[in-house]
């Protein structure tokens, strides 16, 4: 007869008991146990003509250790997922998935919904004026006051070329929350999944629903630091082979967004030389041109289950239309090999 060693929830290990299958009323746990065992044996026996059927009387210690680690990882990722959804302030749900390895939640990452200014940096988040439109599509609205076109069509899709700023209605405007010129400020509307990639790129983000082309997907947020501080941190990040620095150089080069420790879902979005997301500068309540908000829009229809990516140099589909606008992350000193796998891959991230 098969027996299972059971750890009873809320009780110490000294009270663990061996139970026959008929005593176990936990089909999900048993299925996870079986799947984890099968996955481990599949990895170990990869390329070998060995049956996965385990005829031993007991599990080998390595198999048991893997199953326990996988169970603990599953609990940790579920707790992290719950925490992310408690902290986020947008409609779209956040899911977490790792079917690749035993990596758990990042230990030094804090979820935020908007820019976090570093000490000494002031973010003035209050507009001094707003529109009085009854219909922002047909009247002289905030974009017109700024000398640009309204960014969206009636299907909430962006219609301006990359490199053109977006001016949305703000807290001083008399139009309501259903105004067609309030898109980025409503946050992510899609359910997204932070998942462990199988190509060595660490964590990535995929959409769980279909996203229409030219639609707002998410903001890139993090800690706002000076460019001098970004240069210092950049050298540290280079040594680790990571980069989360994004220059806010729409009109000047004073500030950088660092999403290494503080960020949202965009922290986990990977680079691609052929991306499906494009960066736009956005101004809402803060009209300081040195501090635009960074929004990511889809460049094409993105199907459910597809990974979301953007070009860290912004040279992919949808080239920057103005030489004066450079959205690229802070310049790095060590060349990082690109693993995006695109036909047009440049070979390096920088």
Per-residue pLDDT of 1-21, as tens digits, reads 889 999 898 999 999 999 999
CATH code of the domain made up of 1-40+59-84: 2.40.50.40
* Separation between Cα atoms, residue 282 and residue 164, nearest integer Å: 9
How does pLDDT run across 29-67, given as a tens digit for each residue?
Answer: 999 999 999 989 888 877 565 455 555 567 889 999 999
201 is in an annotated binding site: no
Active-site residue 312, yes or no?
yes
For 315-334, what is the mean pLDDT? 40
What average pLDDT is seen over the chain?
A: 88
pTM of the model: 0.87
For 121-145, what is the mean pLDDT? 90
193 is in an annotated binding site: no
Active-site residue 220, yes or no?
yes
26 is in an annotated binding site: no
Could you give the angle at which helices 61-87 and 27-44 cross, rounded to 10 degrees? Answer: 120
Q: Where are the alpha helices (DSSP H) in the chain?
A: 27-44, 61-87, 142-145, 227-240
Dig out the tokens for 254 from the structure.
């004073």
**No. of H helices and E strands in the chain?**
4, 17
Determine the 3-state secondary structure of 317 from DSSP. Answer: coil
Q: What are the backbone angles phi and psi of residue 320, rounded to the nearest 5°?
A: -65, 130
* Separation between Cα atoms, residue 350 and residue 348, nearest integer Å: 5
* Separation between Cα atoms, residue 299 and residue 23, nearest integer Å: 54
Dig out the tokens for 211 from the structure.
């996203």
Query: Where along the chain do the CATH 2.40.50.40 domains lie?
Result: 1-40+59-84
133 is in an annotated binding site: yes
Of the candidates 66, 190, 220, 244, the residue annotated as catalytic is 220
- Does the pLDDT value for residue 323 go beyond 50? no
> Domain 93-308: which topology?
Beta-clip-like (2.170.270)
How does pLDDT run across 176-227, given as a tens digit for each residue?
Answer: 999 999 999 999 999 999 999 998 889 999 999 999 999 999 999 999 999 9
Computed from CA positions of residues 283, 287, 289, 292, in that sequence, does the dihedral angle turn out positive or negative?
negative
- Does the pLDDT value for residue 315 go beyond 70? no
Dig out the tokens for 237 from the structure.
């990040």
Distance in angstroms between the alpha carbons of the first and the last residue of the chain:
59
141 is in an annotated binding site: yes
CB 292 within 8 A of CB 167: no
How does pLDDT run across 212-221, given as a tens digit for each residue?
Answer: 999 999 999 9
Own/partner contacts of 66-71, CB < 8 Å, gap of 24 or more, are: 66/36, 66/40, 66/102, 67/33, 67/36, 67/37, 67/40, 69/102, 70/32, 70/36, 70/102, 71/32, 71/33, 71/36
Share of the chain above pLDDT 70, in %: 90
**Residue 157, strand partner residues:** 215
Of the candidates 115, 190, 262, 312, the residue annotated as catalytic is 312
142 is in an annotated binding site: yes
Query: Where along the chain do the CATH 2.170.270.10 domains lie?
Result: 93-308
């Amino acid at each position: 007869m098969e027996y299972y060693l059971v750890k009873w929830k809320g009780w110490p290990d000294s009270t663990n008991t061996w139970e026959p299958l008929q005593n176990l009323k936990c089909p999900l746990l048993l299925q996870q146990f079986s799947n984890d065992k099968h996955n481990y044996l599949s990895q170990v026996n990869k390329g070998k003509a060995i049956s996965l059927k385990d005829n031993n009387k007991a599990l080998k210690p390595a198999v048991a250790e893997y199953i326990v680690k996988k169970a603990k990882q599953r609990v940790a990722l579920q707790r992290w997922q719950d925490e992310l959804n408690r902290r986020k302030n947008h409609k779209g749900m956040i899911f977490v998935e790792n079917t690749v390895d035993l990596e758990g939640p990042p230990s030094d990452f804090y979820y935020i919904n908007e820019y976090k200014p570093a000490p000494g940096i002031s973010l003035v988040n209050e507009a001094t004026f707003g529109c009085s439109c009854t219909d922002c599509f047909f009247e002289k609205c905030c974009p017109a006051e700024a000398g640009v076109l309204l960014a969206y069509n009636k299907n909430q899709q962006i219609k301006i070329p990359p490199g053109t700023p977006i001016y949305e209605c703000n807290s001083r405007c008399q139009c309501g929350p259903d105004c067609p010129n309030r898109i980025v400020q409503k946050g992510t509307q899609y359910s997204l999944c932070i998942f462990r990639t199988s190509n060595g790129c660490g964590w990535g983000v995929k959409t769980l629903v279909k996203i229409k082309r030219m639609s707002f997907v998410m903001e890139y947020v993090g800690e706002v630091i000076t460019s001098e501080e970004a240069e210092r941190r950049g050298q540290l990040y280079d040594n680790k082979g990571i980069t989360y620095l994004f220059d806010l150089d729409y009109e000047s080069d004073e500030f950088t967004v660092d999403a290494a420790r503080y960020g949202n879902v965009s922290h986990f979005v990977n680079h691609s030389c052929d991306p499906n997301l494009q960066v736009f500068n956005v101004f809402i309540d803060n009209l300081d041109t040195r501090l635009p908000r960074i929004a990511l829009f889809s460049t094409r229809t993105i199907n459910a289950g597809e990974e979301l990516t953007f070009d860290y140099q912004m040279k992919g589909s949808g080239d920057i239309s103005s030489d004066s606008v450079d959205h690229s992350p802070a310049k790095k000193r060590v060349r990082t090999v690109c693993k995006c796998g695109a036909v047009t891959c440049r070979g390096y991230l920088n």
